Structure formats: structure tokens, C-alpha cells
């Protein structure tokens, strides 16, 4: 990965941190994108120290805020002239309904819509850097999601945290699939992955989840194991040219009919553009 610039969102913790660590070990130039400067700095220093790779930068972006995403994208483009690998990894899980300042359900906003906006803002520089790769960290919990785009914001339905999370993860797979069609002929690939149940910090902000986590957490993978497929998609020659696919344990898997539905994908694309004020 020498000479390649790899951008990882949510890079200070869990799968994102383990992915950053491994890519630094592989001599990539790593850009760790975090929302909290202190946490980001701590993770960066640790990775620099252990890997001996000093070619690691920290950039700040809070995916809850459109302003922050726009600012990050602008800063990134003024600092770097290329982007070889973008790993969209950041994520949250809330059992209770929370909304952003704009009134958007927080998992839809952070896990999905913020990622959509970032992808659009960085797509040109990614294209200009081809061959380049985009990796979206989804979750196979997406299979619990149904076609509920009309009420993406939980205004008519009773809020259920697992369903909102599942929907945000379904939309990540759908956009990966949709964009792969648009990117045909560009030498930019985009794939999604389920990292598997991994012991990280996600969900620990929920009291009930935190209480039971020590029980079911014993079945979880380490972040190093959970980051294997993202790293594989970011770096392996085996997946060169492969796009629009979903990977579990480094293997391509078929996703369900809802995620593959072209009309639904188009509907999602249009709604997301509208919500992000993209023309």
C-alpha cells in the first residue's frame, strides 16, 4: 500500500482503528477521520508508535452535521491531491429515538446520509485517483429492514432501534450497488461488507445494551478479526476490478431482493440528494 492514501472514517475505535493500524503497517499514508480530536490523537499516536509509520494524519468530521462534512471534504481536497481508498466505517447504534439538529433520525443521518454526502463530495477526487476503491462497512442486520423509505424519519411508525439501524445499513449496501453501476468504466470500485459481530464500543451508549454486553460480547470477534474483510477489500489484488458486491469473511455473498431493487435504489438516491441539497 506504499504511496496510497487511505481515508478511514470512525478511525479512533473498534474496526476503524484496527483497519487504520493494519493499513499503516502496510505502509499506506493513512488519514484517520474522527469526530473527537482528543480520542483521534490518542489513537493516532498509538498507531504511529506501534507501526513506526509516521505518515498518518488526523482530520475531524462529525457525521451528524452537514456543515462539518462539507468542511472536512473541502479541507481534504485542499490538503491532498488524491484519494486511493475510502473506507466509510463510522457508525452508531441507538435503542432510543434521537434526532439531529435538522430533525433527522440519528442513525439514518449519521450511518447513512452523512456517508452519502461524503461520497458525493469526494467522488471526483476518487475518480481522478483511479484505480481507486471505496469500501462501505455495513452489517448483515440489514436483512431485518423492509421497504420503509417513505417513513425514513420514523414519523408515522413506532421507533425501534434495531430496525432503524438495519435500515441505515441496508441503504449503505444499496448506494454501493447503485454507484457501482454509475462508476462502470472509471476504474473506481465500490463494495460493502459485513465485518461480523465484533467487540467494539458500538451500542455501549445504551444502558440496557451495556448491561447485557458482557454476556453476549464473549461471542464477538476482536476488532483485528473484524477488520480483516475491510482490509482485504481495501488492499487485496484478488478484488481488483470487482465492484457492487457484498463481502462477508472475504467472500462475495448475494444480498436480498430489497437491496437489489433498482427502482428502490433510484428512489433512495433521489431522496438523499434532496436531503443533502445536492443538485
The window from 21-29, 50-58, 87-95, 250-258 that contacts ligand NAP (CB under 6 A) reads: 87-95
- How many residues line the site for ligand NAP (CB under 6 A)? 28
Burial 1-25 (b: 16+ CB within 10 A, else e): beebbbbbbbbbbbbbbbbbbbbbb
Please tell me which residue in 76, 112, 165, 171 is annotated as part of the active site.
Answer: 165
Q: How far apart are CA 84 and CA 3, in angstroms?
A: 9
Q: Does 35 bind ligand NAP (CB under 6 A)?
A: yes
The window from 14-22, 72-80, 144-152, 262-270 that contacts ligand NAP (CB under 6 A) reads: 14-22
Q: How far apart are CA 33 and CA 118, in angstroms?
A: 12
Whether 142 is catalytic: no
Q: Does 230 bind ligand NAP (CB under 6 A)?
A: no
Q: Does 20 bind ligand NAP (CB under 6 A)?
A: no
Kindly give the pairing relationship between strand 246-248 and strand 188-194. parallel
Q: How far apart are CA 219 and CA 186, in angstroms?
A: 41
DSSP per residue, 95-145: SS--B-TTS-BHHIIIIIIHHHHHHHHHHHHHHHT-SEEEEEE--GGGGG-
Q: Does 62 bind ligand NAP (CB under 6 A)?
A: yes
Q: Does 202 bind ligand NAP (CB under 6 A)?
A: yes
Q: Does 145 bind ligand NAP (CB under 6 A)?
A: no
Q: How far apart are CA 191 and CA 220, in angstroms?
A: 23
Q: Site for ligand NAP (CB under 6 A): which residue of 4, 8, 14, 190?
A: 14
Min CB(26)–ligand NAP separation in Å: 19
Closest-CA residue to 166 (of 73, 233, 258):
258
Q: Does 191 bind ligand NAP (CB under 6 A)?
A: no
Residues that bind ligand NAP (CB under 6 A): 10, 12-16, 34-36, 39, 61-64, 89-92, 110, 137, 139, 194-195, 197-198, 200-202
Question: Which residues belong to the active site?
Answer: 165
Amino acid at each position: 500500500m506504499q504511496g496510497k492514501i487511505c481515508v478511514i472514517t470512525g478511525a479512533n475505535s473498534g474496526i476503524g482503528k484496527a483497519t487504520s493500524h493494519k493499513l499503516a503497517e502496510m505502509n499506506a499514508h493513512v488519514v484517520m477521520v474522527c469526530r473527537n480530536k482528543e480520542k483521534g490523537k490518542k489513537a493516532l499516536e498509538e498507531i504511529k508508535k506501534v507501526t513506526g509509520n509516521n505518515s498518518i494524519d488526523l482530520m475531524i468530521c462529525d457525521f451528524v452535521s452537514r456543515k462539518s462534512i462539507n468542511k472536512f471534504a473541502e479541507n481534504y481536497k485542499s490538503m491532498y491531491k488524491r484519494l486511493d481508498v475510502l473506507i466509510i466505517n463510522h457508525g452508531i447504534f441507538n435503542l432510543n429515538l434521537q434526532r439531529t439538529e435538522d430533525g433527522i433520525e440519528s442513525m439514518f443521518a449519521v450511518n447513512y446520509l452523512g456517508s452519502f454526502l461524503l461520497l458525493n463530495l469526494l467522488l471526483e477526487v476518487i475518480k481522478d485517483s483511479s484505480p481507486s476503491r471505496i469500501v462501505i462497512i455495513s452489517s448483515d442486520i440489514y436483512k431485518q429492514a423492509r421497504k420503509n423509505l417513505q417513513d425514513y424519519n420514523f414519523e408515522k411508525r413506532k421507533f425501534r432501534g434495531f430496525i432503524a439501524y438495519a435500515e441505515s445499513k441496508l441503504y449503505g449496501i444499496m448506494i454501493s450497488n447503485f454507484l457501482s453501476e454509475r462508476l462502470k468504466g472509471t476504474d473506481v470500485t465500490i463494495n460493502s461488507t459485513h465485518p461480523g459481530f465484533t467487540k467494539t464500543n458500538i451500542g455501549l451508549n445504551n444502558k440496557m445494551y451495556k448491561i447485557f454486553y458482557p454476556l453476549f460480547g464473549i461471542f464477538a470477534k476482536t476488532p483485528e478479526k473484524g477488520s480483516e474483510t475491510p482490509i482485504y477489500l481495501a488492499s487485496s489484488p484478488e478484488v481488483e476490478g470487482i465492484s457492487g458486491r457484498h463481502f462477508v469473511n472475504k467472500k462475495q455473498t448475494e444480498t436480498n431482493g430489497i437491496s437489489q431493487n433498482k427502482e428502490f435504489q433510484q428512489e433512495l438516491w433521489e431522496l438523499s440528494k434532496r436531503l443533502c441539497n445536492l443538485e
